[in-house]
Amino acid sequence: MRLIALTTLALLWTADLSRAQPQFPGKSVRIVVPYPAGGGTDVLGRLLADQLARKWGQSAIVENSGGAAGNIGAAEVFRAAPDGHTLMVAAPGPIATNSFLYKDMPFDPKRWSAIALLTTGPYVLVLRKSFDGSTVRDFIARAKANPDRITAAIPGVGSIAHLATVQLEMLAGIKTTQVPYRGLSPAINDLIAGHVDLMFDTPTTALPLHRDGKVKIIATGTPERLREASDIPTLAEAGVSGYRAITWYALVGPPNMAAPLIARINRDVTEVLNRADVVERVRAIQMEPSVRTPEQSAAFFADESELWGKVIKQANIPLQ
């Protein structure tokens, strides 16, 4: 009798606890993409929102909020209730690098509730088509023979493309003249026109131009070669030991989200991004699904923050 009574009490306690936990999602989920519409983050955010809405039976609405390299939209999410109904899909800036680049941060990036690393993708080293040389060795030799005369397009100060350029200078022992641009389009246009010598870009834009002979990709910043262009070596293979430059997108929430809620969302995201049709759509934007547990994602964010923080400090990039 005592065992039955204890079992009954346990069941009642579990039921009460279940009722005390708010159902998720209990309303529309707001997924903030802290950049203008149309970019890679926006495309991925909308794909994820669509798939999660179908799974949850509840709408998931993407909101774009640009400005300050993602800090403005990120600050809105940071201040939101930690109930899972306001989340953010973002590139590295608001999660791992902006704190090293901005004097006044409106939030503490270390306090994000890490839900999931979503995808990773490479940065590639692209030269103008008329550049004298087609290998990393050729490029480094030219740069060392002509210090500060090699020009590098920078599509956004503090972007991973910018930091990838700085890291190459540091590890290869070269110096370029960096030419800042307000975004990717004007930078890539000047590279195609031959007004600048190089830039780091994602394969989404660079690979079609490379195949059309308008620019030439000479190396990738990932540890492995590109699946779509396996003849292109990595920078590490080409002699720049220790080089790594990837971009990535992640899903985070406001500080202090409950661990079971984080685990639930991570589980759903993992299921969605493992579907064959979704994998195909993600790869179409030159990204690779790379979902990890919340703990693994948090460790990845910390590693990326340490890597780029070191690059930013050693390069003395001024705070904005």
HEC secondary structure over the chain: CHHHHHHHHHHHHHHHHHHHCCCCCCCCEEEEECCCCCCHHHHHHHHHHHHHHHHHCCCEEEEECCCHHHHHHHHHHHCCCCCCCEEEEECHHHHHHHHHCCCCCCCCHHHCEEEEEEEEEECEEEEECCCCCCCHHHHHHHHHHCCCCCEEEECCCCCHHHHHHHHHHHHHCCCCEEEECCCHHHHHHHHHHCCCCEEEECHHHHHHHHHCCCEEEEEECCCCCCCCCCCCCECCCCCCCCCCCEEEEEEEECCCCCHHHHHHHHHHHHHHHCCHHHHHHHHHCCCEECCCCHHHHHHHHHHHHHHHHHHHHHHCCCCC
Whether 29-121+246-315 shares its CATH topology with 124-220 is answered yes
- The fold of the 29-121+246-315 domain, in CATH, is D-Maltodextrin-Binding Protein; domain 2 (3.40.190)
Give me the residue spans of the domains in the chain: 29-121+246-315, 124-220
pLDDT (tens digit, 0 to 9) for every residue of the chain, 320 residues total? 444 444 444 444 433 333 434 689 999 999 999 988 877 888 999 999 999 999 999 999 999 987 788 899 999 999 999 999 999 999 999 999 999 999 889 999 999 999 999 999 889 999 999 999 999 999 999 999 998 899 999 987 778 889 999 999 999 999 999 999 877 889 999 999 999 999 999 888 899 999 999 999 999 998 889 888 899 999 999 999 999 888 899 999 999 999 999 999 999 999 999 999 999 999 888 788 999 999 999 999 999 999 889 888 887 777 77
pTM: 0.79
- The CATH code of the domain at 124-220 is 3.40.190.10
